[in-house]
Chain A
């Protein structure tokens, strides 16, 4: 299914890109100046924006011996007065006037500054200054373009430049929702085992047998990080098992919002397990927002309470190794999960099990065992297939292109596969 869907996208976006590409080529062809007299600037509303910018393009001026820079000027009317709005020092031949207001009409022209006499001693630093005080005595020669305009900046309702991303998202979401609804209608879906998650229940059981608490850390980020949300969804499953086993759960947190949310989560999990009375607010306590202050406190808690099981699920940074090593020292079973690529090595090295990246987000669905949730994991797999197909296709095209450089069609196709993944 993924393939057919993918095929359709390729076709649709393909047309859009083909047309856009030709238009751009045509634009470049028109903008080529015949000679200096016809040097001109093209001004247009920047497409797909909030109506706050005008784009300017001009062709490079024939490189004079002492070319300095371009100056962009703007006026409310064709006859002026023109006001300098920018100096383009580099070899760029375009400029975006981001100060244009929606609805107002503007006229633009560009000037090229050439220093006629090399190295005049009294020259000012800023070319803009030298222009505003331009007089015949100056050694700066200025060549203007024809005035371009009128242009006004308008806002659009859809960002066409993000069309490719929009389509990718639609397909991916459609795949996920499709599998969720499949699962809801009772179809059995297979999901492979994840070692770290299978070990979770065992680890909780071990703590119960040993009569020691379970420590759960939801990371050091606030609720505005999706990793924290993933951590709390796992906490919900863990708390439910803990409630059934009647073990002690200890959740020190470093953010107040996380504290509030975690309390709600655990309270409901206990209620769902039929033990609402065993819940109390002290299971979750706020420590401090400071990263290392939190670590200092957690280390202390570990050394004093000697939890049998430590679960680290969320966004972790430099503290990952400090807590994991302390946990190893007290002989706890440790299961970690984070999507922080830089910290994964430390967890992998120091913990018994580690949920790597994607597994963290899949964990709650997996633990819940609900068909609907498992369905969403299938949807993710469609994304992976799509990614691998794109990689294969791109690699094949680019390799062919480098083998047969004479075939522009290969280059265009390869280029276009890249554009599907363009990010703006």
Chain B
């Protein structure tokens, strides 16, 4: 399968020209079927909690209620006229539940990142060795370059040294050494993917399929 797709890239003739897209559609369809297994796992796990009177049974009940309510609202398009509209049109139950629960939960979870960024900087950015120091200095300059404080601190520099003004230096770091590092990483990744894909296609790496009988 993998080989066919690799060669298809070089064959513009029908039916190979659209093979990549077809496979993506295939994947989407298989994923929906697989969800029945995943959803089943969710139902069974939490159902079990309730059945065995596990200490978390009330939490499991909440999860199950949310899951079934959302499925009911979405699959039957409750609160919506007819079957044709998009499932998330305004006014439908599905959409209301989404805005009242899903949306705030999601954005709050995302917003927690701001706190974790702070605690990570406190904990991890310590000049323990040369690598860590470089990491720290680069981060510090870029951070400083994005606040007015950095401009105040280095405003006195003459034009001929303007590159050392913090905001300029931050831009330079972003566009030169940062770019170089990114490219090395990205090229490395590409080679890694090529090699892994070949191993998978050639059957050298089969552990993912559970036939690791070496």
Given that A50-B12, A224-B27, A236-B212 are contacting pairs, would A176 and B17 also be in contact in the complex, using a CB cutoff of 8 Å? no
Q: Does B13 contact A (CB under 8 A)?
A: yes
Partner of A226, one of B17, B193, B204: B193
B112 to chain A, nearest CB (A): 6
Which chain B residues (27-52) contact chain A, with CB distance < 8 Å? 27, 30-31, 34-39, 41-42, 45
Which chain A residues (130-146) contact chain B, with CB distance < 8 Å? none
Partner of A376, one of B39, B186, B195: B195
A-B interface pairs (CB < 8 A), number? 215
- List of B residues within 8 angstroms of A292 by Cβ: 105-106, 109-110
Partner of B113, one of A49, A172, A322: A322
Q: Does A92 contact B (CB under 8 A)?
A: no
Q: Does B128 contact A (CB under 8 A)?
A: no
Main secondary structure of the interface of A (DSSP, over half): helix
Are B17 and A50 touching (Cβ within 8 A)? yes
Q: Does A169 contact B (CB under 8 A)?
A: yes
Given that A296-B109, A361-B192, A373-B199 are contacting pairs, would A156 and B205 also be in contact in the complex, using a CB cutoff of 8 Å? no
Are B189 and A259 touching (Cβ within 8 A)? no
Given that A49-B12, A383-B194 are contacting pairs, would A264 and B210 also be in contact in the complex, using a CB cutoff of 8 Å? yes
Q: Mark B175-214, 1 if CB is under 8 A from A, else 0.
A: 0000000100111110111111111101011011111111
Given that A272-B213, A373-B204 are contacting pairs, would A286 and B42 also be in contact in the complex, using a CB cutoff of 8 Å? yes
Q: Does A116 contact B (CB under 8 A)?
A: no
Are B212 and A272 touching (Cβ within 8 A)? yes
Closest A residue to B201 by CB, please name it. Answer: A173
B interface residues, how many (CB within 8 angstroms):
64
- A377, B192: Cα distance in complex, Å: 8
Q: Does A410 contact B (CB under 8 A)?
A: no
A interface residues, how many (CB within 8 angstroms):
86
Are B113 and A268 touching (Cβ within 8 A)? no
Are B10 and A159 touching (Cβ within 8 A)? yes
State the 10 A-B residue pairs at the shortest beta-carbon distance, nearest first: A256-B38, A361-B192, A268-B210, A236-B207, A358-B188, A358-B192, A292-B109, A286-B38, A349-B124, A264-B210
Residues of B within 8 A of A (CB): 6, 9-14, 17, 24, 27, 30-31, 34-39, 41-42, 45, 102, 105-106, 109-110, 112-113, 116-117, 119-121, 123-125, 135, 182, 185-189, 191-200, 202, 204-205, 207-214
